[in-house]
Structure 1
């Protein structure tokens, strides 16, 4: 199903979740912890690759301290912001020599 601007519904929902999360200064990990979900699932939701259940939508709303209806509102931006990268590499259990 697509909205009136031909953007898939999951993509619009994901953009809205990202918008709310960014507005609260939360990372995907913060949101995942608050909603008791995996960070990778949050990423899939935000990119429109996942179709969350009502239970997950409710958990996201609670973690964001927003009403469920707020998550279902259209995002203010329909573009995906460019990814930001940290200057320092993140350790992934590898040892530099």
Structure 2
């Protein structure tokens, strides 16, 4: 099936319309874990410990062996937007 044939097939299905450029523009993407970690200036070990993420899981995400699930993507979004609040929330109560 050519690209044109796929597009025609998709456009003929009212329940599976292709996304437009405007749709893509309004979608918010979760930054990759590596980008978040580097923006915070943390090593893999520091990031994993600070945010309670298993180091193997973080490495798998960063090396493309696996993708974060929906809950992990949400967590990464929160880390990206409010890292200090997440760190504070995860600290044990004194």
TM-score interval, smaller chain: 0.3 to 0.5
Radius of gyration: which is bigger? 2
Compute the TM-score of the two structures, normalised by the length of structure 1: 0.43
**Larger relative helix fraction:** 2
Select the structure with the greater relative contact order (CA < 8 A; seq sep ≥ 6): 1
